[in-house]
Amino acid sequence: MPDRLNDFVRLHEKPKSRKDIGFGNYVMEDYLQGLKVTTGYGDVKVDPSAAMPQFEQMINIVAATKRRFDSSLFDIKQLVQADLFDSEISAARHLLKQKFARAAGAMAGVVLERHLAQVCSNHDVKIAKKNLTIADFNDSLKSAEVIDIPIWRGITRLGDLRNLCDHNKEREPTIEEVDDLISGVDRLLKTLF
C-alpha cells in the first residue's frame, strides 16, 4: 500500500527536524536504541514504553495491507470471471444466430451454474451435496435469504430452459426460449453478486 508507506516510515524513523523528544514524537527507532529521556531532576520524561502506540499502529497498517491485498485479489478474480462470462454469453448469442439453439442454451446454462456457484461462495452459502445443479444453488441462495422468491422463480425458469437444452426431451428448445435463457443469464450476471 504505497499510500500508507509514509505513515509507516514516520512511525519508525526519527524526524530530522525534531528538536525535543516527548511522548508524542517518540518513534520505533528511539525504542530500538533504548532511548530514555529524563528531566534535570531525574524524573523520566519519556521511555521505551512510549513506542507502544506507534508499534500498534504499524501492526494495524500491516494488517490492513493484508486485507487490502486479499480484497484486491478478489476484485481481480471477479473482473476476470465477469469478462469470461460475458465472452461465453456472446458466444451463446452467436450460436443462437447460427440456429444452434440447443448448444447456445447449454452454454448459457453452464454460465448460469458457474455464476450461481460464485454467488454462493461470495455469500458463504455452504452446500453439503456433491454434483450441484442450478436448482441446488438456487434453493440454497433462497434459504440463505440472498435472493427473494421472484428471483428464485426466475432462476428456476432459467434452469428449466437449460435442462430442455441439455437433455434430449421430446421436443427441441425454441429460438425464443433459448433467447430468453441467454438474456436472463446475462441479466443475472449484472444484478446478482
DSSP H helix total and E strand total for the chain:
7, 2
DSSP state of 102: H
Instruction: State residue 32's pLDDT score.
Output: 92
Structural contact between residues 177 and 138, judged by C-beta atoms closer than 8 angstroms = no
- What is residue 5's predicted lDDT score, i.e. its pLDDT? 84
pLDDT at 1: 67
Q: How many CA atoms lie within 13 A of 121 on its CB side?
A: 9
pTM of the model: 0.65
Residue 50 CB neighbour total at 10 angstroms: 22
Which pLDDT belongs to residue 74? Answer: 74
Report which secondary-structure segment, H or E, holds 43: none
pLDDT tens-digit profile, the chain (193 residues): 677 888 888 888 988 888 888 888 899 999 999 999 988 888 888 999 999 998 998 899 888 888 887 777 777 888 888 899 999 999 999 999 999 999 999 999 999 999 999 999 999 999 999 999 999 999 999 999 999 999 999 999 999 999 999 988 788 999 999 999 999 999 999 999 9
Residue 155 is placed in which grid cell?
432462476
Cell digits of residue 33: 536504541
Three cell numbers written together for 185: 443469464
* Residue type (1 letter), 76: I
